[in-house]
Amino acid sequence: MNTLLTIAAKEVRDGLRNRWVVATTLLMAALALTLSFLGAAPTGTVGVGRVEVTIVSLSSLTIFLLPLIALLLSFDAVVGEIDRGTMTLLLSYPVARWQVLIGKFLGHAAIIAFATVLGYGAAGVALAMSGPENGSGIGPESWRAFAAMIGSSVLLGAAFTAMGYLASTLVRDRGTAAGIAVAIWLVLVLLYDMALLGLLVADGGKTVNAGLLNGLLLANPADAFRLFNLTGFKSVSQFAGTAGLAAQVQVSASVLLAVLAGWVAAPLALAAVLFSKRQI
């Protein structure tokens, strides 16, 4: 455990010295604050919850931005160190390869978590300080949904970080790893839902039933994240326009979280196996 924490701490220190990581954190905070203020502006006249509107907006931001950040941070975690020769030096110490991989992953996941909690937490503080009596009009259910959104965002970032590690162990040059990382983002974030929508339209309800649709949605971590945040809380699903979908999706919030956790564990375990067999 000490070895894992030592390696993770090194990655965190390196990340904090990286201007790109700092810029990413500031970008997420700025976008989250902007969405919270813009989303909460019309709520007083139309009677919708400020936190719920912010959750819907931030969930959309998370799906597009956080996976890309996680993949760009992790795609060269293994192959990059091999190219620079630092991996050989690291493996000369009495540490197992799986400890190196898991330790580096924990460090990168901690960086993603720090950026997410800081950025979205700033939006939560802004919401609490605005409105009647410094946010006293916001109910506990709304805050639970907001906290769940932050926690599931961290889990989604960890899932794509693990996929970045898998890409980094599959190839032997950084360019190919970067191409795979971009392809993962394009397929899971953009193309998958478009293909699924096309399938549903072409099928016309003949073959794709509710159970198969649930399975197809759970096969994508971005969709599992979306379902958890937009259908897991009644107040949010009403404002997100997904109340009907929430009634059709027979998947509990705990199952959706387990699916996200599985998307973290499975790619990371496969990456550890490949890294243990790789010649350096």
Which residue in 147, 115, 136 sits closest to 233, CA to CA? 147
Yes or no: say if 52 and 148 are a contact pair by the CB < 8 Å rule: no
Q: Is the pLDDT confidence value at 41 over 80? A: no
- Evaluate if residue 234 carries a pLDDT over 80: no
pLDDT of residue 16: 75
Mean of the pLDDT values across residues 155-164?
A: 96
Averaged pLDDT of the chain: 83
pLDDT at 122 over 80: yes
Residue 75 sits at φ, ψ, to 5 deg, of -65, -25
Picking from 69-78, 101-110, 130-139, 163-172, which range would have the lowest pLDDT averaged per residue? 130-139
Which tens digit of pLDDT belongs to each residue from 50-99?
777 788 888 888 999 899 999 988 998 999 999 888 888 888 888 899 99
Give Cβ neighbours of residue 174 (< 8 Å, ≥ 6 apart).
Answer: 75, 76, 79, 80, 83
Which amino acid is it at 279?
Answer: Q
What's the whole-model pTM score? Answer: 0.88
Which of 55-59, 130-134, 180-184, 248-252 shows the lowest mean pLDDT across its residues? 130-134
Question: Distance between CA atoms of 69 and 33, rounded to whole angstroms?
Answer: 18
Cα(268)–Cα(256) distance, integer angstroms: 19
pLDDT digits (tens, 9 = 90+) for 9-31: 888 888 777 777 777 778 877 88
Q: Residue 67 corresponds to which tokens in the numbers above?
A: 């996976």
* Residue 161 in tokens: 């970080």
Nearest to 167 by CA among 265, 74, 242, 81: 74
Residue 163 has pLDDT above 70, yes or no: yes
